[in-house]
Amino acid sequence: MSAKRIVIAGGSGFIGRALAREFTALQQGVVILTRSPQERADGIREVAWDGKNPGDWVSHLDGADAVINLTGKNINCPHTPPNLRAITASRVDSVNALAAALAQVKLPPRVWVQAGATGYYGDTGDQVCDEQAPGGKDALAEICRHWEGAFAAAAAPNTRKVTLRIGFVLGRDGGALPVLGRLTRWFLGGAAGPGRQYISWIHLADLVEMFLTAIRREHLQGTFNAVAPGAVTNAAFMRELRRALHRPWSPPAPDFAVRLGAWLMRSEPSLALVSQRCNPAKFLELEFKYQYPQLRPALVDLCR
């Protein structure tokens, strides 16, 4: 195992796969904590955990350079009370399990980068939210409050702690973009609902670089909006997606159509209807170099 070891809890998913690839390319050892470990041929090690309790996996944190926690039941499901409880528990329990693990190791990681979400701010309409903005009141905001609360309460005296409040991540092989792309190819890529709601998006490549920045810059701690600098309205986003996919026009999808579509796809309509206009104030202050600060080149890159 390389001297620089990164432990990624929940690293088998969309963002974790991209991070694991990047760390491997940088010759850093990667250990993924997962409920379903597989043997792999690419040098990445998958280790079993249950996302709730310390176990044999704890030893992999001893002497690790960094721990990243991406664990959580995917929010792309109907937000019924049982699903909302499972979404919350999977996040809070994993934070608590990692905190308990850090208390047991001799040489804890230098840094813990914790996934959060811009859902923290709730439905904020046109209002621009930087990291100082208050938390929202809807169900996802409440979940984010519990999630961040558990992370804030995690005693890790020798470990720097960073939360990335992640926006809508655009990538080729995961997240919502491939689904929106398919709908758009079928001429179902119209603006959703009023179309005025903001989307705070980020290209996966920039998000990966933000995780690297959080790990490398020794003075960084606290909470950062992990989004591109230009949030756009849903109507503008869908227009750019249609342009990238050569579908000049699609009928708009009024509220009821969004709700019906979400029901048919076993998803949650509010994910398309809430407005989040987030500003990455702290990354801009750091003069973070975005590869994709503008939506059009980001979508052109991902739709090629």
Interface residues with ligand NAP (CB under 6 A) are 10, 12-16, 34-36, 51, 70-74, 90, 94, 115, 117, 166, 168-169, 174-175
Nearer to ligand NAP, 55 or 174 (CB): 174
Nearer to ligand NAP, 20 or 235 (CB): 20
- Give me the helices (H) in the chain, please: 14-25, 81-104, 139-153, 177-185, 204-216, 234-244, 255-264, 270-273, 281-285, 295-303
Q: How far is CA 128 from the centre of its chain?
A: 20
Nearer to ligand NAP, 252 or 288 (CB): 288
Least separation in angstroms between CB 166 and ligand NAP = 4
Least separation in angstroms between CB 173 and ligand NAP = 10
Least separation in angstroms between CB 243 and ligand NAP = 22
Which has the closest alpha carbon to 113: 46, 207, 37?
207
Distances, alpha carbon 111 to alpha carbons 7, 94, 107, 161, in Å: 11, 16, 12, 6
Least separation in angstroms between CB 248 and ligand NAP = 27
d(CA 246, CA 249): 9
Strand partners, 232: 199
Nearer to ligand NAP, 8 or 258 (CB): 8
d(CA 161, CA 76): 27
Which has the closest alpha carbon to 168: 261, 216, 247, 238?
238
Nearer to ligand NAP, 27 or 38 (CB): 38
Residue nearest to ligand NAP (CB): 13
Least separation in angstroms between CB 47 and ligand NAP = 11
d(CA 39, CA 21): 16
Least separation in angstroms between CB 3 and ligand NAP = 26
Strand partners, 47: 33
Nearer to ligand NAP, 35 or 256 (CB): 35
- Cβ neighbours around 126 below 10 Å, total: 10
Which has the closest alpha carbon to 165: 204, 232, 96, 223?
223
Nearer to ligand NAP, 51 or 108 (CB): 51
d(CA 9, CA 13): 10
Least separation in angstroms between CB 94 and ligand NAP = 6
- Cβ neighbours around 285 below 10 Å, total: 10
What share of residues in the chain are helix, strand, coil (percent, to 5)? Answer: 40, 20, 40
Least separation in angstroms between CB 251 and ligand NAP = 26
Nearer to ligand NAP, 76 or 252 (CB): 76
